[in-house]
Structure 1
């Protein structure tokens, strides 16, 4: 028989059990818990609830990023539970990422009661507004007391969940003070409960229903936007990060309707796999390798759907082109205009806007402008394929080659998680389009490299399927403790080890030899095989791309049938990697120049 949330040992557990019950009723049933003493009532309450899924991990930062990964994969917030003190501070990087990139997350932190705050009591810090302006909502809950109606606590939970889910979604923070005893023991009589609470306990509904409002756009705004589209010869569609298949299909269908070049960011979900008959330009970043040819690709009108794109070259093209109309469509009021070129910010869901534009415009054929983009895209794809071959006509091991191979072989059931720095950039530039169209997740809000392994683990909790993670050695070192999460949550990790920070070789500081290697490239010589062995995970090393294909397929098979994780180490050279990128850029620029010469 299911236990009533009102059936509690003391007032502390009456509150804790009711908070968890209300969260479950609001749709938050997955919790990532870092063990601690002060959070005991919350931990016991989620552990004993029949409808919760609980992931326990020793590292607070790791659990916070795992909760972030869950939110990225599902669009629903997970609960992050931690004890008081610096444990809470460890959640800041994940909270920042969730806030900047609009990922729902519920932070449920335990705290000391008011009489211990500022008293020098052990493990007590100022947790009020510890995350600054990043949470969408913050409440400092007082310690459980019979003098405070439980209805006030439940409605506070309802409001917090609403803030996490409304547009733009993001993190919320409930800071809950608790007095001892923290264990579920009898400790005096429970407060008198109202009729409303007893009705609540007998139902499955939250105390206060708060449907999530969706931003919409007026017909007048749609008419103006449609007018921008009509009769345009050089129109461009940019797809940034999109949330879900509905948005992806809406953007793809609109591009197919108007036959404007569609430039999909790797996080859009449209960069990989088939795009149907939409005029997708998958290799735009390489097409733009020759900055002197920018005028040939400068658009008159740009419609940007979703979040920010990875490509710096695309951003610079649009900055210099200064199109007469640059409309950003995203359900978020925050400004997205680093170069101050946006003329219209349409705060609305992407799918209805795309559908409205299709209704208000005639189907078009591909213009010469579109045909030029598509011809260049085909030429660049062939150039990259040839450029990544060795002299004996076999695939050459390189970081661009890894991006191309993994995106071609990744199983359709996987999500692809990309670490910041080089992996996400290489996938955006070099990914193959012949593979499966899979969800692509990357912490590109604040673009930090911390918590990436944990993010991938949290993704698998949300999807209930394995994930593939491509990560560099420094990002892996940042999150080694999260390898413990991979013991139960299957992730195939492709670890590109170039013994330092390869991305710094692309910065001007790389020309300053006296400081570059020690202070920026930060060389390391960690034996990752021993670290992986310590966590009881599978480890493999790939010496060639053919090796990588073989061990990757085997690892994906184990992840599917056994639910186990594998770390595949790929050794590359940082200096060589820079030269390969430069050579591919030169080859692509020359190939595109020939396309333009024929126009």
Structure 2
């Protein structure tokens, strides 16, 4: 019987799938659950060498002879550091030596615990990868350990050979049970490179035939050479669905830039119709990351996830990654188009029908109205920067001309630096550069305008509703103004004095009629200097309008989720 410890089962299952069968073991007790589980499986060939210093060098000899990865396994404490000399030798010989070191729980570090020191970075300069594992107590722990073990075992031989260290804590080796008769098959993540064999690429192509393919295109600052032609060819051939947003800045076949709205519009009753067989992700983050994750969580184990990234790293946002493609995006679509047939045409039709049923917001005077009206007067071929938080989400509710370039700092999705980035972009531009930004984000980064390189072509649409409306709405009316101030950062500040002192042209907008005139003034080339239009709205009304629009999509909106969580936290504050 195998150990019932889920971490041990993950280790044994993946060692077997990666065909690492030779294990050199030194005596001890902390690693007992793993050793006993290896003993009961005839796949593994075990060697017993008492001295860890000798055991690791013994393993190097096995590697040299077999030309395959070999693992060494020891108990916790100084037994780990005794592998040091052999690890250095393996590093410079480029030998795939796998170090499996048992450890005690990290909470006991420095607490006079027996046989314990900081093992995780013992071989820091002489390994290709270090993985610190953890006891598996929930599904998140299991996903994390599975990912880390896959990363380590791939690193043994990918992009050159070398040693890898996996440090696994065991809470108690005395109380472990052994009743698991069938070893579960843990998820193995594969990797395919540009020079992988044609047989490998053919097998990938066969997986696509007749399948529902969903492609997620994230933000990128440059498009690889020949990407568009190869991509369009693949999408047409397979009737693939392409989910993107306004940050792609290139025209794609079968693409939906209103993904932010589409995904949350899928009704629970027919959600299965939109389940993909294969999800292909490329480039960086999107505006709809959260919505897409929530959607795909409805289909655990029902689709494969392929990620294209030349770093070769495991990036697994949907916790379903099956294959990494360590190639450029254009090479991927060129290769896969040449080895596969056609796919499911009905799949694209369903997404198209859903997208066609979504209407843009038609609302009264508000920050959402200001963005929608601004996009209507924005000149063709404009360069548009959008700040994070609600501005980029509100922008995603409207269509934009294909020839307008849109930029936003979606790497981490923070509010800091949004205006500074736009100012930097404008410094090299001979054309007007526009920025849509909220009040808190503006004041957070207001020194961006105190810049000797501030372009005369820089234009700002500032949405000022005197605070963070999203944080303000959940507050009960009975709460004091002080708590409202701290939670939603309420203020009564205007940008007028600051921007005028910098020599910027300024216009305030406080109603619908002023909005039309102000937006027209912002896009006109009638002044020789940078401009800003500050639109004043009421935050409670802004969020009410947003909530009403999102609820019309028949799914719980992200604002509803934020409010629900915030109400819970506020209740806790009140109860205290």
- Once residues 542 and 253 of structure 1 are traced to their aligned partners in structure 2, the CA distance between those partners, rounded to angstroms, is 48
Q: Give the aligned partner of residue 244 of structure 1.
A: 222
The whole-number CA distance in structure 2 between the counterparts of 1:266 and 1:222 is 32
Find the residue that maps to 2:533 and give its secondary structure: strand
Q: CA deviation at 1:268?
A: 1.9
Asked if 1:282 corresponds to 2:257, the answer is yes
- Which 5+ residue runs of structure 2 have no aligned equivalent? 1-192, 556-576
CA contact (8 A) 1:510 1:516 kept: no
- Residue 494 of structure 1 deviates from its aligned partner by 0.9
Q: CA deviation at 1:292?
A: 2.9
Is 2:320 aligned against 1:341? Answer: yes
What TM-score results when the alignment is normalised by the length of structure 1? Answer: 0.53
1:539 aligns with 2:518: no
Matches within 5 A, 1:447-596: 447-485=413-451, 487-505=454-472, 513=479, 517-543=484-510, 547-558=514-525, 564-589=529-554
Q: Deviation string for 1:89-133 (max 9, x for gaps)?
A: xxxxxxxxxxxxxxxxxxxxxxxxxxxxxxxxxxxxxxxxxxxxx
What are structure 1's unaligned runs of at least 5 residues? 1-214, 390-395, 591-599
Residue-by-residue CA offset, 1:541-564 (whole Å, 9 max, x unaligned): 334566545433433332xx7662
- The CA distance in 2 between the partners of 1:217 and 1:399, in whole Å, is 51
Mean alpha-carbon deviation: is it higher for 541-550 or for 495-504?
Answer: 541-550
Tell me the residue number matched to 1:316: 294
Which residue matches 2:382?
A: 414
SS of aligned partner of 2:210: coil
Distance 2:483 2:213 in 1: 42
* TM-score, length-scaled by structure 2: 0.55
Q: In 1, are the aligned partners of 2:297 and 2:318 still within 8 Å (CA)?
A: yes
SS at match of 1:268: coil
Q: Which has the larger radius of gyration?
A: 2
> Which residue does the alignment assign to 1:331?
310
Question: Aligned in 2, Cα 1:457/1:236: closer, same or farther, shift over 3 Å?
Answer: same
- Greater RCO structure (CA 8 Å; 6+ sep): 1
Q: Which moved more, 1:483-492 or 1:576-585?
A: 483-492
User: Which residue number in structure 2 is paired with residue 50 of structure 1?
Assistant: none
Cα distance change of structure 1 residues 257 and 467 upon mapping to structure 2, 3 Å threshold: farther
Distance 1:512 1:531 in 2: 35
Residue from 277, 284, 293 that aligns with 1:307? 284
SS of structure 2 residue aligned to 1:568? strand
Per mean C-alpha deviation after superposition, the further-off stretch among 517-526 and 457-466 is 457-466
Instruction: Provide the residue aligned with 1:350 in structure 2.
Output: 329
**Map of 2:272 onto structure 1:** 295
The count of corresponding residues between Structure 1 and Structure 2 is: 354
The answer to whether the 8 Å contact 1:487/1:564 transfers is: no
CA distance in 2 between partners of 1:513 and 1:339 (Å): 39
Contact 1:487/1:536 (<8 A) preserved = no
**Is residue 342 of structure 2 the alignment partner of residue 367 of structure 1?**
no
Measured in 1, the distance between the counterparts of 2:536 and 2:500 equals 18
The residue matched to 1:266 in structure 2 has which SS? Answer: coil
Residues 487 and 535 in structure 1, CA contact (< 8 A), matched pair in contact too: no
Is residue 2:373 matched to residue 1:405? yes
Contact 1:288 1:589 in 2 (8 A): no
Distance in 2 between residues matched to 1:511 and 1:354, nearest whole Å? 55
Q: Distance in 1 between matches of 2:204 and 2:374?
A: 39
Pairwise mapping of residues 11-410 of structure 1 onto structure 2 (< 5 A)? 216=194, 218=196, 220=198, 222-232=201-211, 234-246=212-224, 247=227, 251-270=231-250, 275=252, 278-289=253-264, 292-293=268-269, 294-311=271-288, 312-322=290-300, 323-362=302-341, 367-380=345-358, 383-384=359-360, 387-389=361-363, 396-410=364-378
Does the 8 A contact of 1:517 with 1:523 survive in 2?
Answer: yes
Give 1 or 2: higher helix fraction: 1
Partner of 1:107: none
Structure-2 change in CA distance of 1:562 and 1:503 (3 Å): same
**Take 1:481 and 1:470, find their aligned partners in 2: how far apart are those partners?**
17
Q: Is the 8 A contact 1:242 1:248 kept in 2?
A: no
The 3-state SS of whatever aligns with 2:214 is strand
The CA deviation at 1:449 is 1.2
